[in-house]
Amino acid sequence: MHRLASPPNHKRRVLRVRGTDVTLLEEVRKMAVADLGIDIEHESLDFLTCQHLAAVDPTGYDVYEQCFHNLDIVWYWGALQPIQTDRINQWDHIGDLAKDGGISKYTWQGHGDAPVRKLYVQPDGTLGQQPMPTISMLPTAHNVDSFGFDRRLFGDEGPEGSSWAWLLDRRARGRIALVDEPAIGIFDAALAAEANGDLTFQDIGNMTVDEIDSLMALLETLRQQGFFAGSWVTPDEAEAFIQTDRVSVQSMWSPSYGNLGEMAGIFRESVPREGYRAWHGGASLARHLEGAKLDMAYDYLNWWLTGPAGALMARQGHYMTNSKGVREYLSPEEWGYWYDGDPARCDLKGPDGKIVVRTGQRRPGGAYRERVSRIALWNTVMDEYNYAARSWNRFIRTLGSSTT
Amino acid sequence: MSARPTTPGQDPLYETISRVLRHNIRSGRLPEGFVLIEGPIAKLMQTSRAPVQASLRILNAEGLIHRFRGRGYLVGDGATSLTPIRKSLEEFGFEIPDVSRSALAVRGTWQRVYDKVEAEIAACQIFGEFRVIETELANHLGVSRTVARDVLSRLNERGLIRKGATSHWLAGPLTARTLREKFELRSIMEPAALMQASDYIDHAQIMQVSAHIESGKAKNSAQLEDELMRLCLGRTPNSALVEIISNNRLLLSAMDKALSDLGLPVDPVALDQYQTLFELIGSRQIDAAAAYLREHLRVLSFKSVARLKIVALIPESESLPPYLTPVI
């Protein structure tokens, strides 16, 4: 009788990642586990809980995957440690959007928290855009967002594109939904209010208390006039609003457009003439990491830039900072559709294997460079965030959700 | 000027203080030429400066003390010219008779009540705007409405609450704008106070603070900020300036305290900056120290605005005192 070899006795090392479902995909986790030979635990939380716990429970995770716009909250709470760029193998291949603020010096950076303004760790411990040898967050997935609209009501976009004004358009009264997250939803509403002439903001990316009051008063008036069908927290809820035909226009994120089923041809992603609302994700290191644990976290950060993760991100519409690496892991058809804005030469699958793009479709807004050169503003945690988020949350609580 | 009702059933505070000073002068404890300044007297008697000022005016009218070319008053009727004696009251065995001590102790209770309410009202403001209800405050403290009103008018004087359009007392909200404005005031006033105080700073004490930071004994910046106030800025002869500076700091230190109660860790960069600042002051490089203080306040203002953002994620404290109701 053969004795069975006993299983190897050494314990596998574990890396704990806290973040949101924007980047914490099961497919990403499995690939990283296979490539790095370590165990990875995902803790996927909603945006607000994630920020809060990252700040006040800094030992509960090793890597924090979130967005640059809410990095402030965690950074100034002392929960993270600076990342040395000389330990990031692909640092030189990270695109200019994150490192310089725009893809060329002629493009407008956009209002609000452009990632470069929070990227480099300055000698006084603050974050700024003066290049330094350490950074706060490794820039990874990013995208530009707009809103989704029903062609049956608004028709097709003309040559000038659509306008953010549609999001608060009287024609859609009673069939409008907004995303619940204050650092995002408030800007969808503000862009709409400014586009339709109701309000003007001196700096929409850093509103004053008076401007916030005016915006909230406007939204309250519209709510009383029955404009809103509700608000949503997760993309599933946004999709449910559409599948149950309860909205004609609403805040929308890229991955949802692939999950609309029969409504796919009817509900379209807008290309707003005022420009997009952009966001930039990334990964940061917890303050407590040191020694072998820190090395492991650096391995994981480096892995993010090698390509496979970026390919998964691309299949739900998000871009990666090291697009060169991503290209090797996408089929030419996928690369053509997602990055180059070409019409799809075949049906394309999403990260979970379901078809999200049909042959012949073209990505609204076109190629990467076209889209990211039209950023109106970035998701932002404004100086008056505490004030704004409290007013916003009071407003949101008076709206229903997609399940009510 | 109408006297405010202070301690119910007691003499006005300035009369108690006058009695104590008369006792010490007539008994010869305070010699002729001794310099009387409001600040140290107020501190010793645990009162604010205003009643001490009133009391010194009375003693001056009585001819027990007199004005001179410097700050404060000299003991004596001023008939002969005296060399001012600038020493601490304790050195001359300053005595507070028991009967006055108990009057002051009642007053001390009032002060503690006031301090508690002040801390609560300052701390709530990061969570938004609140109405302060006078009757509830009186019930909560177990005092008369007169006393509650007195507490509120003091809070109003110190800029922590205001009257709304409907005559209700309102507190907050502490916004990024308020924060920035307060820091702007700080960077105008505090470097100026530091320059003025330059000749009155005790350098041995400063070196001691520096040594504390160096050895890691100084634990947080709040403590060092207090030392800066006590040992440096507070030494300026302009007492009105000192008062405005302390009032302006009230909300800011309340916010710091609220944030550290929420778990904000110590900021090592801020500690380093205080170390540099105290070293500059200690080596009498006052121009450089003033410039450095301005820069330190700029960074602090920036960080405070960023730190305030996390409060958005924290629900209003459930332990809000019952006399505060949120204004929606």
What is the secondary structure of A177-223 as a DSSP string? EEE--HHHHHHHHHHHHHHTTS---S-TTS--HHHHHHHHHHHHHHH
Looking at the domain covering A14-141+279-338, what would its CATH class be? Answer: alpha beta
pLDDT of residue A7: 56
pLDDT of residue B3: 44
- Arithmetic mean of pLDDT, B8-32: 82
- How many A-B residue pairs are in contact by the CB < 8 A criterion? 76
- Arithmetic mean of pLDDT, B121-147: 89
- Interface of B to A at Cβ within 8 Å reads 126-128, 173, 175-177, 180, 262-269, 299, 302-303, 305-314, 328
Task: Chain A: give the shortest CA distance to residue B151, in Å.
Answer: 28
Mutate to test the interface with A, among B124, B125, B260, B313 (most CBs of A within 10 A): B313
Give the residue, B125 or B290, on which the prediction is more confident: B290
Name the CATH code of domain B117-174+315-326 (choices 1.10.620.20, 3.90.1150.10, 1.10.3720.10, 1.10.10.10): 1.10.10.10
- Arithmetic mean of pLDDT, A261-268: 91
pLDDT band at A158 (very low <50, low <70, confident <90, very high): confident
Residues 6 or more apart whose Cβ sits within 8 Å of residue A136: A71, A75, A80, A82, A83, A118, A119, A120, A121, A127, A284
Nearest CA in chain B to A80: B265
Nearest CA in chain B to A53: B313
| Element (DSSP H or E) covering residue A267 | strand A267-269
pLDDT band at B104 (very low <50, low <70, confident <90, very high): confident
Which residue stretches of B84-200 are H helix? 98-124, 134-141, 145-157, 176-197
pLDDT of residue A125: 87
Helix A385-397 vs helix A209-224: angle between axes, to the nearest 10 degrees?
10
pLDDT band at B215 (very low <50, low <70, confident <90, very high): confident
- Interface of A to B at Cβ within 8 Å reads 48, 51-52, 55-56, 72-73, 75-78, 124-126, 182, 208-209, 381-390, 394
CATH code 2.40.30.40 for B13-96: no
**Average pLDDT, rounded, for chain A:** 92
Give the residue, B116 or B285, on which the prediction is more confident: B285
Mutate to test the interface with B, among A383, A391, A392 (most CBs of B within 10 A): A383
CATH topology match: B13-96 vs B117-174+315-326: yes
pLDDT of residue B5: 43
* A176 within 8 A of A379, measured Cβ to Cβ: no
- Arithmetic mean of pLDDT, B233-260: 90
pLDDT of residue A250: 97
What residues does each domain of chain A span?
14-141+279-338, 144-276+344-397
- Arithmetic mean of pLDDT, B49-69: 87
The CA dihedral of A67, A68, A69, A75, to the nearest 10 degrees, is 110
- How is residue A393 written in tokens? 């949350």
Q: Do B310 and A77 touch (CB under 8 A)?
A: yes
Report in angstroms the alpha-carbon separations of B328 from A392, A394, B202, B284: 12, 9, 50, 51
pLDDT of residue B2: 42
- How is residue B20 written in tokens? 């104590």
CATH topology match: A14-141+279-338 vs A144-276+344-397: yes
The region of weakest confidence among A69-78, A119-128, B82-91, B161-170 is: B82-91
Q: Do B262 and A75 touch (CB under 8 A)?
A: no
Nearest CA to A64 out of A36, A24, A123 is that of: A24
Classify domain A144-276+344-397 at the CATH superfamily level. Answer: Periplasmic binding protein-like II (3.40.190.10)
The region of weakest confidence among A201-215, B14-28, B253-267 is: B253-267
The region of weakest confidence among A5-19, A140-154, B53-67 is: A5-19
pLDDT of residue B196: 95
Nearest CA to B292 out of B215, B195, B178, B153 is that of: B195
- How is residue A224 written in tokens? 């009383």
Query: Does A402 have pLDDT greater than 80?
Result: no
Q: Do A56 and B262 touch (CB under 8 A)?
A: yes
Residues 6 or more apart whose Cβ sits within 8 Å of residue A353: none
Q: Do A386 and B176 touch (CB under 8 A)?
A: yes
- How is residue A98 written in tokens? 């994150």
Question: How many C-beta atoms lie closer than 10 Å to residue B42's C-beta?
Answer: 18
- The CA-CA-CA angle for residues B83, B88, B93, to 5°, reads 100
CA distance A55 to A138: 18
Cα atoms in the Cβ-side hemisphere of radius 13 Å centred on A395 = 30
Query: Does A72 have pLDDT greater than 90?
Result: no
Q: Do B175 and A384 touch (CB under 8 A)?
A: yes
Q: Do B263 and A56 touch (CB under 8 A)?
A: yes
- Arithmetic mean of pLDDT, A330-346: 97
Percent of chain A with pLDDT over 90: 82
What residues does each domain of chain B span?
13-96, 117-174+315-326, 176-312
CA distance B199 to B208: 18
CA distance A261 to A242: 10
Q: Do A125 and B306 touch (CB under 8 A)?
A: no
Query: Does B133 have pLDDT greater than 60?
Result: yes
pLDDT band at B6 (very low <50, low <70, confident <90, very high): very low
Out of A56, A125, A381, name the one closest to residue B309 (CB): A381
Q: Do B312 and A182 touch (CB under 8 A)?
A: yes
| Element (DSSP H or E) covering residue A361 | none
Asked if residue A82 has a cis previous peptide bond (ω within 30° of 0), the answer is no
- Arithmetic mean of pLDDT, A132-153: 96
Which range among A285-299, B115-129, B303-317 has the greatest average pLDDT? A285-299
Q: Do A385 and B302 touch (CB under 8 A)?
A: no
- Partners of residue B130 on adjacent β-strands: B171, B326
Question: How many C-beta atoms lie closer than 10 Å to residue B109's C-beta?
Answer: 11
Query: Does A17 have pLDDT greater than 90?
Result: yes
Q: In what order do the strands lie in the sheet with B162-163?
A: B162-163, B169-171, B130-132, B324-326
Task: Chain B: give the shortest CA distance to residue A52, in Å.
Answer: 6
Q: Do A76 and B177 touch (CB under 8 A)?
A: no
CATH for the stretch B176-312: 1.20.120
Query: Does A237 have pLDDT greater than 70?
Result: yes
- Arithmetic mean of pLDDT, A343-366: 94
pLDDT band at A2 (very low <50, low <70, confident <90, very high): low
Q: Do A48 and B309 touch (CB under 8 A)?
A: no
pLDDT in tens, A190-209: 999 999 999 999 999 999 99
Q: In what order do the strands lie in the sheet with B65-67?
A: B35-36, B73-75, B65-67
Nearest CA in chain A to B305: A383
Residues 6 or more apart whose Cβ sits within 8 Å of residue B50: none
Q: Do B306 and A52 touch (CB under 8 A)?
A: no
- Arithmetic mean of pLDDT, B164-175: 90
Q: Are strands A63-67 and A276-286 parallel, antiparallel or unpaired?
A: antiparallel
Nearest CA in chain B to A181: B313
Q: Are strands A63-67 and A83-84 parallel, antiparallel or unpaired?
A: unpaired
